[in-house]
A and B are shown apart, each in its own frame.
Chain A
């Protein structure tokens, strides 16, 4: 809870060394930073960008899956998919609210998404041509998201950390229903198993890209780690994801499409881990910069939803106004 009147109240702060040091001291002492606390403008901006992107990803993430709700093959799958997509809408809202505590408005964030100025996770610019993709998304995409989000529950910014706790609690079912779906296909006919393998082939590399650029190329990582916005580097989380996922694929008889994949017993301080092949970063940047298969469709769909909903928002506002006047 916060008073909007105080937002931006620290805009007159002089960010001298003493101020920055005192702020870093709070961070180092694992104190949470709350909305009205003084904070460096760069800390605020980093969080607005990061939480905004995260919120947009949840909202755009409803599209590739929403695509399959009416064609789910059983009632059990349909209620699960409906609940998952509804959760994602909810997650987007928790996150927009968290971003708003930093002084950015919902309207501004919506505008930035629709104009293409704001980014969202590149994974949602890939198409979902088969039913198996719904399982693969839950298993890999939500799996990767959870890997990213669990450490964010300890983020130094209170409202973001609290939103992430809710999100993580709800997201566990997303991954499990996805894995169960893929497993069921793998136990089916040869054709169904082939569908699952084809889906894994298409989603594996984009899922690894979800962790963002390699640490050597990531422009935001260092300062975000220092401010304890992020707790692990992109590469560390990616490694954790690969190590966790390979045995899951093996268990249901699927093969990860990476010829360089190899167990390396020296990795992870001698605990062992997988070496894996080089990610196609050209593809990553191409999709991030708007040239993926579905970038245009996704924004078009969001724009249509926003425009088609305009009369509802206006009517609700007019009705509220009328009731206040009466």
Chain B
């Protein structure tokens, strides 16, 4: 089975219903986007899991490097002043 014969890999995103985000649910192999959408419908929506499907060729997805997760995401952890609870407001003000 040559490289040539391999079907490309697609990532599948399903939207549970109108008003929500599409969410990644898994992947599958298909020759093209039409076939990928049909296969995604059969594999991932047998029980009314959604009303809309996106498929994206896996090779077109760029991911952040997990070994740099600390550099990327830790700086946000000491910036408590970005959250509303950091600020002191008198109780009398009520909900703000």
Residues of chain B lying within 8 A (CB to CB) of residue A87? 46
Could you mark each residue 11-26 of chain A with 1 if its beta carbon is under 8 Å from any beta carbon of chain B, else 0? 0000000000000000
Stretch at the interface among B3-11, B73-81, B82-90: B3-11
Band of interface residues on A: 20 to 34
**Which residues of chain A from 69 to 113 have a CB within 8 Å of any chain B CB?**
83, 86-87, 90, 93-94, 97, 100, 105-107, 110-111
Whether a CB of chain B sits under 8 angstroms from the CB of A37 is yes
Q: Is the CB of B31 within 8 A of A319?
A: yes
**Which residues of chain B from 1 to 52 have a CB within 8 Å of any chain A CB?**
1, 5-7, 9, 11, 24, 26-32, 35, 42-44, 46-47
Residues of chain B lying within 8 A (CB to CB) of residue A1? 11, 24, 61, 63
Q: Is the CB of A317 within 8 A of B7?
A: yes
A94 to B39, CA, bound (A): 12
Whether a CB of chain A sits under 8 angstroms from the CB of B72 is no
**Which residues of chain A from 283 to 322 have a CB within 8 Å of any chain B CB?**
313-314, 316-317, 319-320
Q: Is the CB of B1 within 8 A of A111?
A: yes
Q: Is the CB of B63 within 8 A of A3?
A: yes
> Per a CB cutoff under 8 Å, which of B27, B31, B67 touches A317?
B31
A310 to B71, CA, bound (A): 47
Whether a CB of chain B sits under 8 angstroms from the CB of A6 is yes
Band of interface residues on B: 20 to 34
Q: A97-B27, A100-B9, A317-B5 are in contact. Are A34 and B46 (CB under 8 A)?
A: no
Q: A34-B66, A38-B67, A97-B26 are in contact. Are A4 and B1 (CB under 8 A)?
A: no
Rounded to whole Å, the gap between the CB of A283 and the closest CB of chain B is 35
Residues of chain A lying within 8 A (CB to CB) of residue B58? 2-4
Rounded to whole Å, the gap between the CB of B10 and the closest CB of chain A is 10
Q: Return 8 A-B CB contacts under 8 Å, by A number.
A: A6-B63, A36-B63, A36-B65, A83-B46, A94-B26, A97-B27, A106-B29, A170-B46
Beyond A1-B63, A163-B26, 19 extra complex contacts between A and B, CB < 8 Å: A1-B11, A2-B61, A3-B61, A3-B63, A4-B9, A6-B65, A36-B65, A90-B43, A90-B44, A97-B28, A100-B9, A106-B6, A107-B1, A110-B1, A314-B5, A316-B30, A317-B5, A319-B31, A323-B32
